[in-house]
Chain A
Amino acid sequence: MLASDGHPFVLLLPFVVVAGFWLLSLLDPKPVHRVSFWKRNGTAVSIFLIVAVGLWALFMIVLPQLFMVEMSFRPKLPPTAMGGARDIYTFENYRYFLYGSTRDSSNWNSLHLTAFFTTIFVSVLVTLFNFLFSYPLAFYMAQVATAARVRLLLLLLIAPYWINEVLRAFAFRVMFAGSGVINRALQGLGILSEPFDFLGNNVALYMGLSYAYLLLLVFPLYNAVESLDRRQIEAARDLGAPWWHIHLFIVMPHAKPGIASGCTLVLMLTSGALAAPLVLGGPRTLWFTPIVYDRFYQAFNWPQGSAYAFILLLTCVAFVLLVLRLTKLSLGEMTK
């Protein structure tokens, strides 16, 4: 099949699905007293709802993703060869990700594969660290602190996040630079004799990544722990449970949806982070998103960039599914 014939098909697909659901809803036996959609909202509002949701769901969410996936299966061709005989669907962009060449499959593409797995691995570690670091605060705010104290803490928590991601990363760069405060302090204390390259060794990057999305873990955790009845903790304590039992077997199971949603969100954002790796990465830093970026704006290979983006997206989807499966939650409970 010629790739140039793909577009109309991809364009039609979501409309067919919507029509299918509409037909299904017609087949549904309707309760007699139920008001129809048109009547309930009035004509003007009904049109607004349909147009707005149609524009948003189809033209801003579904179709762009479908087009990106479709493009990832196309070869990179000069504009003149498009629609020609060589314009056929292919796996060569995915082959390139694995082997570093579109034809030869004898060597692994170790640079990109290492970057990919490093990204995933480091993101998991960063998420874990953030969870352990912010859990005590969330617990303190939700169960121990007074209302006035909570208000103050919330304000303090939000304040640093008014500043955008790029400048936050810049702050870490200033702090960890060769002549930055950290190096000077360590030298002043006699721990280091000469400046340590925090940027080149990714220390600054990992700290910056953890910092970037810390807040997004505190809030879901706080909300989840807050709904726990304090008497349950007291009862456990009266029955002689040690403190770590209380957290492990009472608070955390109760806060499971919040933990799951916070951790997934942070994991997604960390593995998809672009500003921190660009600003804080050294010349040898491996991170997947800058590689995707370079496919587009250094190699000018859009189909390959799409394939890389799709791989990242699939990984994210796999993670969400894994978390849902492990915690036995539904998506609705998680994005609350």
Chain B
Amino acid sequence: MSSRHILKLMTGFYMLVFFTYLFGPLAIMGVTAFNTPSYPQAFPFEGFTWHWFDVLFADSDVLYGLKKSLTIGVFVVLLSVPLGLAGALVMQQINRRARSLYYLVVVSPVLTPGVIIGISTVIFWRDFTTLTGMRFMYDGMVLTVLGQSSFIAAYCMLIILARLQRFDRGLEEAALDLGASHTQVFFHVLLPFLRPAMLSAGVLAFLSSFENYNTTTFAILADKTLTTVLAGRVRQGTTPALSALAVTIIAVTVLGAIVYEVVKRREDARRDTKLRAAEALDAQEMVAA
């Protein structure tokens, strides 16, 4: 056997180990969702059942948490994408002396442990709302949105900044020369250019918010979200209903990913045909001239 074959074999074996590690635990958990014993058990498989899904969807706490998590996710997207956009634009324009401090401040939440972000958000808003008499702001949902957005906005900023660096200032100047106002340039030139980055920032923001636990568990106060309900359940004892929930989440996200891929492909195809049509038109005009 040549050394090339050995290398190939080793690579294959390593890949197998890596992806078994990645999917093994999830596969085992998935199996327990359909097995009859009341304790999550993958083997032996005693009988196929949908029972744990019924238990899951009858669980009012889980449904309440799910609703809260979705609401919080939407607000986090609405807050952190604009914040990230503003952060990225300011990063480009701020004077050099302040830039490194500014960068340090806005990127620090990415490197700060989530628990600390949760704790500091609660402490600050408790004192600040008391100080300013805005006690109604001291609410689990508001605090969670604020706490999560502080670092999710940083993710958004980094995504938008990456695209912003490829922006051609010539486009802006051209628009200004043609008589557009600065505000018009922002809405009709810059924003459309940044749209793809803002879309992916939005998707990422929603997902990070939805699955966040560390910050949420502090910031949510007495209220609950899906992850905090789950954590409580898991600590009380394990039931196959939790496996059923995991399976549901996997199914929904896989479906979402497929839809996203299809929509994106269709959009790409449409843009391609448009581009080709424009090119054909150009060619025609050239011939005519």
Contact = CB atoms under 8 A, between A and B. Distances in A.
Contacts of A278: 231, 234-235
A43 B107 CA distance: 27
A61 B150 contact: yes
B119 A68 contact: yes
A238 interface: no
Interface stretch (A88-96, A100-108, A227-235, A304-312): A304-312
Interface string A263-284: 0110011011111001100000
8 contacts: A41-B182, A56-B83, A67-B124, A68-B123, A167-B230, A170-B230, A171-B26, A265-B110
B124 A174 contact: no
B269 interface: no
A101 B179 CA distance: 71
Contact of B106 (A42, A56, A162, A181): A56
A76 to B, nearest CB: 13
Contacts of A214: 22
A37 B92 CA distance: 11
A335 B107 contact: yes
Contact of B183 (A42, A164, A335): A42
B83 A61 contact: no
A203 interface: no
A156 B19 contact: yes
A62 interface: yes
A169 B234 contact: yes
B249 A162 contact: yes
Interface centre among A41, A44, A62, A271 (most CB of B within 10 A): A41
A42 B111 CA distance: 34
A87 B208 CA distance: 40
Interface stretch (A47-55, A110-118, A252-260): A47-55
B150 A60 contact: yes
B186 A42 contact: yes
B231 A275 contact: yes
A160 B29 CA distance: 12
B44 to A, nearest CB: 9
B238 A309 contact: no
A-B residue pairs, 10 tightest by C-beta = A272-B113, A42-B182, A52-B86, A164-B211, A64-B120, A42-B183, A64-B124, A68-B120, A171-B25, A162-B253
B213 A274 contact: yes
Given A71-B123, A179-B41, 7 more contacts: A42-B183, A61-B105, A64-B117, A164-B230, A173-B238, A175-B28, A313-B116
B57 interface: no
Contact of A296 (B185, B207, B218): B218
Contacts of B111: 264-265, 268, 316, 320, 335
A288 B8 CA distance: 43
A306 B29 contact: no
B32 interface: yes
Interface in B4-18: 11, 14-15, 18
A249 interface: no
Nearest to A313: B116
Chain A binding surface, main DSSP class: helix
B113 A289 contact: yes
B18 A7 contact: no
Interface residues of A, number: 87
Interface of A: 7, 21, 24-25, 28, 37, 39-45, 48-49, 52-53, 55-57, 59-65, 67-68, 71, 133-134, 136-137, 140, 144, 156-157, 159-160, 162-175, 177, 179-181, 184, 211, 214, 264-265, 268-269, 271-275, 278-279, 289, 292-293, 296, 302, 305-306, 309, 312-313, 316, 320, 331-332, 335
A28 to B, nearest CB: 6
B70 to A, nearest CB: 13
Given A164-B227, A170-B29, A68 B102 contact: no
B214 interface: yes
A292 B211 contact: no
A309 B182 contact: no
B245 A167 contact: yes
Interface stretch (B46-54, B93-101, B194-202, B279-287): B93-101
Given A184-B43, A316-B112, A62 B231 contact: no
Contacts of A173: 234, 238
A174 B103 contact: no
Given A41-B186, A174-B238, A211-B21, A167 B124 contact: no
A160 B182 contact: no
A271 B113 CA distance: 8
A52 B235 CA distance: 39
Contacts of A49: 86, 89-90
A159 B125 CA distance: 36
Interface centre among A68, A156, A165, A174 (most CB of B within 10 A): A174
A311 to B, nearest CB: 10
B150 A157 contact: no
A42 B89 CA distance: 13
Contacts of A174: 25, 28-29, 32, 40, 42, 238, 243
Given A57-B106, A279-B234, A331-B103, A272 B218 contact: no
Contact of A272 (B15, B23, B114, B212): B114
A164 B213 contact: yes
